[in-house]
Amino acid sequence: MDKNADTPPKVVALKELCQQKLVKNYSRIRCLGATPQFLVAKALSQCTAEQLETIEELNPHIMDDNEGLWWQLYAKKYGDPSTTGEAVPSDMISWRERYREMRLDDEVRAHEMRERVRNKVKEAERERDARKIRIADIKKVGGIVKTRTKTNEGAHAEDEQYS
């Protein structure tokens, strides 16, 4: 005998169905209108920091209620401040602001690192060019000085100068 035949199907509340649909489509959430934050909290917990910022910009009434979500995003990316030894922000700074500051610091560090690498590559190229051995073969043909150089890599280059 089938167990499911004896039990009537469970009727899911409309609120639950809507919340499940929101969670599945969290990346499409934009304007919430007057919807309270607690109704969309499960869906918002799936969002990235960038998505959450966009949603908050369009729906400023939910910002204050998202502090826990920002703490989760911060802890996920930078670690739990209580275990990493960081100072926990005061009441004056929200986790949203703390996350934004850390992201800006990351961007500055990444930019500085790219600049250091770029400078090291340029310096290495200058050093390599300075170590090149050049052999010049100068010929004067019809008022034009032709110079043929050979580098230590075996490459040839020709220059023309008018005299």
Say which residue the tokens 């690498």 belong to.
117
- Tell me the per-residue pLDDT of 43-61, one tens digit each, with 9 for 90 and over: 999 999 999 999 999 999 9
Q: How many CB atoms lie within 10 A of CB 111?
A: 10
Q: What number of helices (H) and strands (E) belong to the chain?
A: 7, 3
DSSP 9-52: PPPPPHHHHHHHHHHHTGGG----TT--HHHHHHHHTTS-HHHH
* Regions in the chain scoring below 70 on pLDDT: 1-4, 84-92, 134-163
What is the value of pTM for the model shown? 0.65
